[in-house]
Structure 1
Amino acid sequence: MMTRRLRFAATFLIFQIITSGLLISPYGFAVECYDTITSPTLLSKEINCPLSVDTPQALTIIGPSGSLTMLEGGKVSCTTSTSESGKPKVGVGSMSAGGWAEITEDGEVTFGNWTQEEVPEIQERTTYTVEEKMNLFRVRAGVLIEGSSANITGGEIEGCPTGINVQGLGSHTITGIKILNSEYNGIIIRSSHNKTSNNEITGIIRPRGYGIMIETGSDNNTINSNYISATSGAALHSQGNHTTITKNEIVNNQGHGIVMAPAANNSAVIHNQISFNKYDRVQVHTDLNTLSVNTITHNESRGIIMMNAKDNTIKDNVIIYNKTFDIVDHSQNMLCTNKVNNWANNSIGDTETAMPACLKEQ
């Protein structure tokens, strides 16, 4: 349906240009690897762009004037070569010179085939934190969004370290995109007031990889009606305040479903379908959130778990057929008399599905 709408919109646009006798279209059509897009642009072909230190993004969109609409056949892919060990290279140093790096599950990095002239800032350092190591590679993306109020719509992004890196001042729109087989993140959000909707994110390869990652300080973002599946880490990890997470389908992931990290206060998780995932479906480490009208079923671990969280409202959810407990609140006492969080009118399993057990009566 989404593809049909995009095809119709493109056909109608071209028809208008021809029948009105306009010689100049407001849309640009010629898109090549490493372009910076600052005006409305259409992409109707696949571009395959090797990424490196010098070219860390396949495309950059700068708002407010920049936008990209990918029509049928429009696709951005990132070349991934392999090191001598057979592991994926991630482009440290010059790709033409064969610079590469490997990351283990613990974040250990081995650099190979590079010189101090190629990457002096790496050569000079002998130790890195895990986060620093991961950030060396997560900045590489199929599409980087900068400025404010930029738009990207339709098409596919495949095989990039991160599918879309959302930065700048924010208020960007990301909609209707298939993001396939990213190494680390489908979408990483590093700004505020963005809208991410109707995207399909599948196949995050590396451990700790996220379908959608919202970083600390990225507030008032809306995540709506996305499909997220086959991620190695959490499908959706939020560290931003005032995040709205609604009507998403999160299924068959190897990590958690939704994680609300300690910085993610005053957020809403409403009307989501979360099923057949490996670990906790909704894990909350923060305060003053609302979790309502979600369906959380058939997961390998717990349904909703409160981890040192308070003043949250959890109501009107269906949380059943989860392997261990349907609902867990580590902030409540065993009699549920301290009322740290507000549990109300949730449908859960019949026996031994709540911890503490008194949560069933809330």
Structure 2
Amino acid sequence: MVYEFRGSARHFVVPGILYFALGSSAFAVDCGDTITSPEVLDQDLVCSTEPALTIMGPTGSLDMAEYTLRCDGSAVGIQIDGVAAFLSNGVVTLCDIGISLDGTGAHNIQAIRVDGTDISGIAVNSSFNSVIQSGIFKNSGTGIFIAGDNNNVSSSSILDNLENGIQLEGNNNLIVSNEISRSTLNGILIGKADGNTVAQNTVSMSGIGGANTAGILLELLGQSGNVIVGNTVFSNIDFDLQDNNSSPCLNSWVGNSPDATTSGQCIISN
């Protein structure tokens, strides 16, 4: 994933997608607004309001048009509420939580960068949401924290986060085709969560030596129905794959890197 900003005309580049935005003199969206219709951001915002912005679905959507929202005292940068709201094409930085997905859910985030947050880049508290083709970088907490069910995180880069890259605490989520690297704790942590599919991700260089961390870690919580399949895992500090549960083995590890370092009797074969 490549992010490019060139002069006064801004370009935000992700694979297969090019956005182009020019400056505008009319400021339609400002700090503290609740967005209930399709809007396009036309300035950088520095906000102390709480939250900085709210997008209310189903009628609210925001194209950030390459601009940046920076929190200055706001705990939450963008709160997405209601059902089926949409956020795309911009940067959220220096908040406690960059984006909070609340309400009924079925929201969509696409081509968003979140960095420099204290708690989590994106907090997924509702269900049936999608985070696609986004970048979650250099957050002091977890990159993406998922408490809801049936969410999708795909084709995103989740790099250099100081806790977990992705933490799963909800059920039946799909985590697929992401690049997750250099998480200080675990690349992907599966907590008290059942029925999740973690597939075809690349997870590398994560963990702290001797601290029970791994590229992909299934905690000792009696989970069931999680499928960890087809992931490329390498160079993680303690183990690439780790399952802290013992027999009966209620989760599946299938087709991951054959030379992965592993821990746990339930990881029989990759």
Flag whether TM exceeds 0.5 (same fold): yes
SS in 1 for 2:32: coil
TM-score of the aligned structures, taking structure 2 as reference length: 0.85
Q: Which residue is 1:125 aligned to?
A: none
Give the whole-Å Cα distance in 1 for the aligned partners of 2:122 and 2:62.
Answer: 16
State which structure, 1 or 2, has the greater radius of gyration over its C-alpha atoms: 1
1:284 aligns with 2:218: yes
Q: Any unmatched runs of 5+ in structure 2?
A: 4-11, 208-212
Q: Which residue is 2:143 aligned to?
A: 211
1:274 aligns with 2:189: no
The equivalent position to 1:200 in structure 2, one of 110, 117, 135, is 135
Alignment of 1:27-176 (within 5 A): 30-50=28-48, 55-72=49-66, 74-79=67-72, 140-176=75-111
SS in 2 for 1:186: strand
Q: Which residue is 1:294 aligned to?
A: 231
Q: Which residue is 1:314 aligned to?
A: 253
- TM-fit CA distance, 1:44: 2.7
Q: Any unmatched runs of 5+ in structure 1?
A: 12-27, 81-90, 92-139, 333-340, 347-362
SS in 1 for 2:84: coil
Q: Runs of 4 or more off by more than 6 Å in structure 1?
A: none
1:257 aligns with 2:194: no
State whether residues 205 and 215 of structure 2, in contact with CA within 8 Å, keep that contact through their aligned partners in structure 1: no
List per-residue Cα deviations over 1:109-151 (Å, max 9, x = no partner). xxxxxxxxxxxxxxxxxxxxxxxxxxxxxxx211000000000
Q: Which residue is 1:7 aligned to?
A: 19
State whether residues 29 and 42 of structure 1, in contact with CA within 8 Å, keep that contact through their aligned partners in structure 2: no
- TM-fit CA distance, 1:343: 3.6
Q: Which amino acid aligns with 2:65?
A: L
Q: Which residue is 1:244 aligned to?
A: 174
List per-residue Cα deviations over 1:287-339 (Å, max 9, x = no partner). 11111110110111111111226321111111546xxxx1111xx3xxxxxxx
Give the whole-Å Cα distance in 2 for the aligned partners of 1:79 and 1:245.
Answer: 32
Give the whole-Å Cα distance in 1 for the aligned partners of 2:231 and 2:90.
Answer: 29
Q: Which amino acid aligns with 2:42?
A: S
SS in 2 for 1:48: strand
Q: Which amino acid aligns with 1:315?
A: V
SS in 1 for 2:19: helix
Matched positions, count: 246
Q: Which residue is 1:186 aligned to?
A: 121
- TM-fit CA distance, 1:156: 0.4
State whether residues 6 and 154 of structure 1, in contact with CA within 8 Å, keep that contact through their aligned partners in structure 2: no
Give the whole-Å Cα distance in 2 for the aligned partners of 1:7 and 1:196.
Answer: 18
Give the whole-Å Cα distance in 2 for the aligned partners of 1:203 and 1:186.
Answer: 9
The worse-fitting range, judged by mean Cα deviation, of 168-177 and 307-316 is 307-316
TM-score of the aligned structures, taking structure 1 as reference length: 0.64
- TM-fit CA distance, 1:342: 6.8
Pick the structure with more strand per residue: 2
State whether residues 6 and 71 of structure 1, in contact with CA within 8 Å, keep that contact through their aligned partners in structure 2: no
- TM-fit CA distance, 1:29: 5.8
